[in-house]
Amino acid sequence: MGFRMTVAIEDGRIRRHPGHESRLDERENGVQSGAVGIQLHGEVLSTILPLCIAIAHMRRLRSYERRGRGGIVTENLLDAAVVARRFYLDRRQKSEIAAELGLSRFKVARLLDAAHAAGIVHIRIDVPDDVDTELADVLERRFGLRRVIVVREAEMPGADRRTATPLHAVGLAAARFLSAHLRPDDVVGLSWGASVAHVVDALDDVHLAEVVQLVGGVTPAPLGERSPGRPARSGRDLVEELARRTGATAVPLHSPLVLASARTAALLREDPSVALTALRFPAVTTAIVGIGSWQPPSSSLLDLVGPDDRRELWHGRATADVCGIVLDAAGRAVRSSLSERTIGVSLEQLRSVPTVVAVAGGATKATAISSVLHSGLIDVLVTDEAAARAIAHPGENSTGTRDSG
């Protein structure tokens, strides 16, 4: 007894028999819509039917096998290529692809995995030459940071490379990061220092709501004593410059950073010109801060205090300061009389800022940067290769070998 069976390809669906169908995009498989009539005998149906399906699918003969929970799972490589093209090049959602091809979302996910494993999809990430992502990954994992950017020493961005310094490159990298993440409704807080000044000079094409001065003023370096580590502008100058560049409202802090007595500092904190600025500290969404080093000494705060303060703080094992807050090697705040005489954001207020970006570089600041990282005060670190390597691999010299002794 013979009978006739029709395998139809209609709108991308191959209909083999009632209630059983599979999806195929004929444009991508070179199959034209239509119907193929095949005269079959019942006794050979089970043998010929798979051949019919194979003819209809044409190029869908190659497959990829992977080991799944239920054993060997066969994935069609042509389907995998079609799904991968729509997902990666056309930027379609998995649910959209599933609906278009008559597949489940789980099937789409499996086909994407197959495309990766079979070498259909190759992913290449071109990292900028001037950053070291491996060192950054080490520091991110070790200290639980949201982001670390490590600038390589070999490349110093900037039009005039004769005046470019490692700190300049670090400031430029921080500015690039901030330009990509700051929003027009952000309130940015600024500390003071050479690294922060480089960030301000490099920030461009950014709009902000307010720029708030986080620490009291520090006298800029005199003309004959200027250096890469001590800028010629005050904290107020930096706040006003960044506000001008970003169309923001400048909120300066009308006070010195360090006062002679705790009583004077307390009275000044109650003065409206200072109190109104302090009221804006909780509104800061992103803080840009520098890091001062106490061992070896490279800190504007250290330069401001007298011998008695230095001895007291060194006795407390001070290694770093950020926003006038002195820390030890473990990141703990060092208790001293100085804290009662400083004007600026408090430890608790700085910790509550959603994003704190620290900008500092140089191997001599590695100990100070490490202290701040241990404190948990910062979320993003922008530094150079020398400092990052000294923190990630303590005990190694600049050539990457272990120091003896």
The model's pLDDT over 339-366, given as tens digits with 9 standing for 90+, comes to 999 999 999 999 999 999 999 999 999 9
Give the pLDDT confidence of 279-294 residue by residue, as tens digits.
999 999 999 999 999 9
pLDDT of residue 119: 87
Q: How much is the pLDDT for 13?
A: 42
Q: List pLDDT tens digits, range 361-396.
A: 999 999 999 999 999 999 999 999 999 999 998 866
For residues 114-140, average pLDDT = 84
**Residue 296 to residues 197, 293, 319, 329, 382, Cα–Cα distance (Å):** 22, 6, 8, 13, 20
Alpha helices, DSSP H, located in 39-144: 45-57, 77-84, 94-101, 105-117, 133-143
In this model, does residue 45 exceed pLDDT 70?
Answer: no
Residue 128's pLDDT is 63
Phi-psi domain of 289 (left: phi exceeds 0; alpha: psi -120 through 50; beta: other):
beta
Residue entry with tokens 């061992």:
295
Summary mean pLDDT of the chain: 79
User: What pLDDT, on a 0 to 100 scale, did the predictor assign at position 372?
Assistant: 97
5: its two tokens: 């069976």
Is the pLDDT at 34 greater than 80? The verdict is: no
Residue 48 in this model has a pLDDT that exceeds 60:
no
pTM of the predicted structure, to 2 decimals: 0.68
Q: How far apart are CA 208 and CA 283, in angstroms?
A: 13
Q: Which own/partner pairs from 13-19 qualify as long-range (CB within 8 Å, at least 24 positions apart)?
A: 13/102, 14/53, 14/56, 14/57, 16/49, 16/52, 16/53
Per-residue pLDDT, 403: 43
DSSP state of 238: H
Beta bridge partners of 293: 298, 320
CATH code for the part of the protein at 133-392: 3.40.50.1360
**pLDDT above 70 for 231:** no
Can you tell me the distance from the alpha carbon of 335 to that of 259, in angstroms, rounded to the nearest whole number?
Answer: 17
Percent of the chain predicted with pLDDT > 70: 71
pLDDT (mean) for 241-247: 96
What is the full DSSP assignment across 6-54?
Answer: EEEEETTEEEEETTEEEE--HHHHT--SEEEEEEEEGGGHHHHHHHHHH
Which among 170, 179, 174, 176 has a CA at the least distance from the CA of 152?
170
pLDDT, residue 393, reads: 87
- CATH 3.40.50.1360 range(s) for the chain read 133-392
Please work out, in degrees rounded to the nearest 5, the angle formed at the alpha carbon of residue 292 by the alpha carbons of 339 and 259: 35
